Amino acid sequence: MASDKIISISNIKVACGDCSLKSLCLPLGLNREEMHRLDQIIKRPRPLQREQFLYRAGDTFRSIYVVRSGSIKTYTTTKSGEQQITGFHLPGEIVGLDGVSVDIYSCNAQALEMTSICQVPFNRLEELASSLPGLQHQLHRLMSKELLADHEVLLQLGKMSAEERLAAFLVNLSNRSAQRGYSPHEFNISMTRTDIGNYLGLAVETISRQFTHFQEVGLLEAARKHIRIIDLPKLRSLAGGEAPCESNSNPKVQA
Amino acid sequence: MASDKIISISNIKVACGDCSLKSLCLPLGLNREEMHRLDQIIKRPRPLQREQFLYRAGDTFRSIYVVRSGSIKTYTTTKSGEQQITGFHLPGEIVGLDGVSVDIYSCNAQALEMTSICQVPFNRLEELASSLPGLQHQLHRLMSKELLADHEVLLQLGKMSAEERLAAFLVNLSNRSAQRGYSPHEFNISMTRTDIGNYLGLAVETISRQFTHFQEVGLLEAARKHIRIIDLPKLRSLAGGEAPCESNSNPKVQA
DNA sequence: CGTACTATTGAGCGCTCTCAAAACCAGTGG
DNA sequence: CCACTGGTTTTGAGAGCGCTCAATAGTACG
C-alpha cells in the first residue's frame, strides 16, 4: 500500500516535469492539459540563500510557495521578541498558507539552507481552481492537512515529555523522508538543535541530552546533522504510539 | 476601523436571516441571490445535548458546521488514551475543517452545552464556491484563520508560562465575546477548568491556582463559569503583549 | 439531603530550565 | 599546516515551575 503510493508519486512527478508540485497536482488526477494550465501560472524565482527570507510577517500576501529543494522554517514572534517556529517545510511541501486569511503573511519564512522554490500566485490559483474542481478540492485538502499537522504538534507540546516530543519529531522527519522516496532510517536534517528545541518548546540543552540519551540506548546515531535511526519501531512507540497522519502517509482508510 | 467592521457585521447578520453564517457569508459581499443559494444547501439538524458528539474521529467527512448557539470542543486522542483539546468553538465559528484533508474527521467534536448548529455539506459548498469566487476565497480565509489560531496556541504552549497562557486564553475569549457583540469584560465560559488545563497543556490545579492568583491581584473576578475582567489592558500585557490575530479583529493592516 | 462532579488548596517531588564551561566543527588567514 | 574565531553542540550542577497526590469545599441535581 505504502510502496504503491510511492510508485505513483514518482510517476506523476515525471509527468509533472521537473517540478515538486506533487503536493498540488498529485492526488488529483489532472490530465496533461490541466496540468499545463497549472504550470502556466507558476514562477520559479531564483533560489534562496541560507538565512534568506522568503517573506516576512506583515508582508502583503500574494503567493504560496512549493519547496523544490532545500528547506524553510516558518516562525512567529512575540512582542517581547521571542520566536516560535511553527513549521519546517521540506521539498514538495507548501509554504505561505498562513497569509490567506488577512492578505498578510503572519509568519516569517526563512531558508535553512540553499533552497529553491516554485511561486504560485494565489489569485491565479483560485481562478484556476474555480474551473478545475479537482484542483480546488486538493487545495482544500492541503490546507486541512496543515491543520492536522498543527494539531499533532499541539498534542506534543501539550501532553508529551521531552523524550516523547523528540521521538515524535524524528519519526515525523523519518516519514517525510520516506515520502520523498528516501530512506526512513537515514537522513540529514537542516535545522540546528536550537531550532528543534524552539519548535518543540524545549531548551537546546534538553534536545542535546535527549539525543545522547537515544544514542546511549542504541535507538539511533546522530552525528551533527546526520541522523541514522537504528530502531524505528521503538522510536515510534516512544513517540506516543504513532502519529495519526501528520503530513504523510494515509491512516486507516475507513471508520 | 474596528467599530466600522462591527457595524457591517450586524448589518449582514440581519440580511443573512437568523443564521450564524456570518463566518461564511460575512466579509464577502454576497448579494441577496447568492446568499439565498448558500442558504439553500444548509441544513439545520436538531440541537446537540451537552456531551453529545457532533462527530467522532474516524467518521466519514461530509460536512462542516457553523455553531449557532452553545459551544463545541474538538480534541484528538493519543494511543495511550490521553486527549488533547485542539479548540473551543463559539457561536459563529466553524467546526469540521479538520476532516477535509483525508475525508475523515481527525478530531472528536463534542458539545459543551446545549448547542445548535448549521450543517454545510462540503461538496455542495465546493460546487457553489466554484461559481462564487467570493465564497471560495472566504472559505480559504477561514481555513487560514484556523491555522493562525493554531499558531497562536503553539506559541503559548511552546514559550509561555502558566500565568501567560491563562491570560492569553482569557484575552482570546474576551476578544471573541466582543466580536459577537457582547462585552469583552464579562462573559460566561462553558468549559471546565479541566478542559482549560488540557487545552493549555497545564494541570487543573495550575489553572485553579492561576485563577485565584489573578483574583488576588485584582485582575478579574471568576465565579465558576462567570468571568468578569477588571483590568483588561493589564491582562493583555500579561498575555504577551497582545495576540496577533487569533480568530478575531484585524491586526495592523499594512507592512 | 445525599450523590457525583467540579473547583480549590496544600505539600513534596521531578522534569526541564538556567547558568556556566568545555568540546567540537568549519571556515579563515597567517 | 596550524592557530584563530565564531558558531553549534555537549555536559554538568543547581534552582524553579508546574505536576502529582491527597484532602477539603463548593455546586448541581435527583
Residue A178 has what pLDDT? 94
How many other C-beta atoms are found inside a 10 Å radius of the C-beta of residue B36?
Answer: 11
Q: In what order do the strands lie in the sheet with A116-121?
A: A94-95, A63-69, A116-121
Distance from CA of B251 to the nearest CA of A (A): 9
Residue A22 has what pLDDT? 58
- Nearest residue of A to residue B153, measured between CA atoms: A154
Question: How far apart (Å, rounded) are the C-alpha atoms in residues B26 and B16?
Answer: 9
Residues of B in contact with A75 (CB under 8 A): none
Number of H helices, E strands in chain B: 9, 10
* Cell output for A174: 523519518
Cβ of residue A98 closer than 8 Å to a chain B Cβ: yes
Question: How far apart (Å, rounded) are the C-alpha atoms in residues B21 and B19?
Answer: 5
Q: What value does the mean pLDDT of chain A take?
A: 83
Q: Is the CB of A169 under 7 A from strand D?
A: no
**A252 CB burial (10 A radius; 0-12, 13-18, 19+):** exposed
- Would you say residue A188 has pLDDT above 70? yes
Residues of B (177-236) placing their beta carbon closer than 7 angstroms to any atom of strand D are 197, 201-203, 205-206, 223-224
Distance from CA of A69 to the nearest CA of B (A): 24
Cβ of residue B224 closer than 8 Å to a chain A Cβ: no
- Would you say residue A97 has pLDDT above 70? yes
Question: How far apart (Å, rounded) are the C-alpha atoms in residues A104 and A126?
Answer: 17
Residue A7 has what pLDDT? 32
Helix, coil or strand: residue B216: helix
Q: Contact B151/A107, CB-based, under 8 Å?
A: yes
Q: Contact B130/A126, CB-based, under 8 Å?
A: no
CA atoms within 13 A on the CB side of B214: 30
CA atoms within 13 A on the CB side of B40: 11
Q: Is the CB of B194 under 7 A from strand C?
A: yes
Structural domains for chain B: 2-144 (2.60.120.10), 160-238 (1.10.10.10)
Q: What value does the mean pLDDT of chain B take?
A: 83
- Nearest residue of B to residue A198, measured between CA atoms: B158
Across B166-192, average pLDDT? 94
- Asked if B207 contacts B85 with a C-beta cutoff of 8 angstroms, the reply is no
Across B31-45, average pLDDT? 82
Distance, CA of A84 to C1' of C18, in Å: 19
Question: How far apart (Å, rounded) are the C-alpha atoms in residues B38 and A163?
Answer: 48
Residue B33 has what pLDDT? 74
Q: Is the CB of B224 under 7 A from strand C?
A: yes
Strand boundaries in B184-248, DSSP class E: 186-188, 220-223, 226-229
Contacts of A41 (CB under 8 A, 6+ apart): A120, A121, A124, A125, A128
Cβ of residue B139 closer than 8 Å to a chain A Cβ: yes
For chain B, the farthest-separated pair of C-alpha atoms sits apart, in whole angstroms, at 56
State the best of A147, A238, A242 to mutate against chain B, taking most chain B CBs within 10 Å: A147
Q: Contact A100/B144, CB-based, under 8 Å?
A: yes
Better pLDDT: A24 or B215: B215
Cβ of residue B82 closer than 8 Å to a chain A Cβ: yes
Residue A151 has what pLDDT? 94
Contacts of B163 (CB under 8 A, 6+ apart): B210, B213, B238
Distance of CA B164 to the CA centre of its chain: 20
DSSP H or E run through A222: strand A220-223
Helix, coil or strand: residue B165: helix
Across B187-201, average pLDDT? 95
Q: Label the pairing between strands B72-77 and B83-89.
A: antiparallel
Q: In what order do the strands lie in the sheet with B116-121?
A: B94-95, B63-69, B116-121
- Would you say residue A76 has pLDDT above 80? yes
DSSP H or E run through A64: strand A63-69
- Would you say residue A9 has pLDDT above 60? no
Share of chain B above pLDDT 70, in %: 82
Residue A24 has what pLDDT? 57
**A214 CB burial (10 A radius; 0-12, 13-18, 19+):** buried
* Cell output for B79: 494511543
